[in-house]
Structure 1
């Protein structure tokens, strides 16, 4: 796993049951793929949030909405992404995504 002494979020969530998946998540996905310089972290977040919504993967969406905000996307931009995707990914997926966003954004205020 990673060299850090503090547990990563993935280690806390599933390290006890899926240590290899955690290692791949921490070392490859977030340690390599997310750090590549060919596109910015902001662009990666925009792509990732869009992909999660399109795929209907709402369980991962809260984490990535937060990451998107850390990477420079505003709440208004994220709501606009969801609104735009309603016509490409489907209305039910957009409605589910906006409820995830609403809950997350209200918790932060």
Structure 2
């Protein structure tokens, strides 16, 4: 578990099942890569969302859409990014991503 008393998302998902993956996720990805100064958190979020849409990784997309909003990306910008990606990533992937975005954004409304 991390320094805080609350388990991370990775810990909740895979805690005792895949502890190495949890450690890499928490310590390396979110502990070392995300805080790097070369890109802002907002830019990292847009890059990550684009990567998840283009790879068809809808299961991970919900978390990162929420994180993108926390990092200053608006819902309108995220919808536009997904719409734009339809022409580069493919219509089915964009439609799947938009379904995730709609569920997330309408739940939070």
State TM-score, norm by structure 2. 0.97
Aligned counterparts of 1:69 and 1:23: Cα–Cα separation in 2:
25
RMSD between aligned alpha carbons? 0.9
Aligned counterparts of 2:69 and 2:11: Cα–Cα separation in 1:
23
Q: Structure 1: which 4+ aligned runs deviate by more than 4 Å?
A: none
Q: Which runs of 5+ in 1 are unaligned?
A: none
CA shift at 1:3, angstroms?
Answer: 2.7
Q: What does 1:84-103 correspond to in 2, within 5 Å? A: 84-103=84-103
Aligned counterparts of 1:6 and 1:94: Cα–Cα separation in 2:
33
Q: Which runs of 5+ in 2 are unaligned?
A: none
Q: Which has the higher helix share?
A: 2
Aligned counterparts of 2:106 and 2:39: Cα–Cα separation in 1:
30
Q: What does 1:27-106 correspond to in 2, within 5 Å? A: 27-106=27-106
Q: How many residues align?
A: 109
CA contact (8 A) 1:52 1:58 kept: yes
State TM-score, norm by structure 1. 0.97
Aligned counterparts of 1:82 and 1:106: Cα–Cα separation in 2:
16
Aligned counterparts of 1:8 and 1:61: Cα–Cα separation in 2:
17
CA shift at 1:7, angstroms?
Answer: 1.1
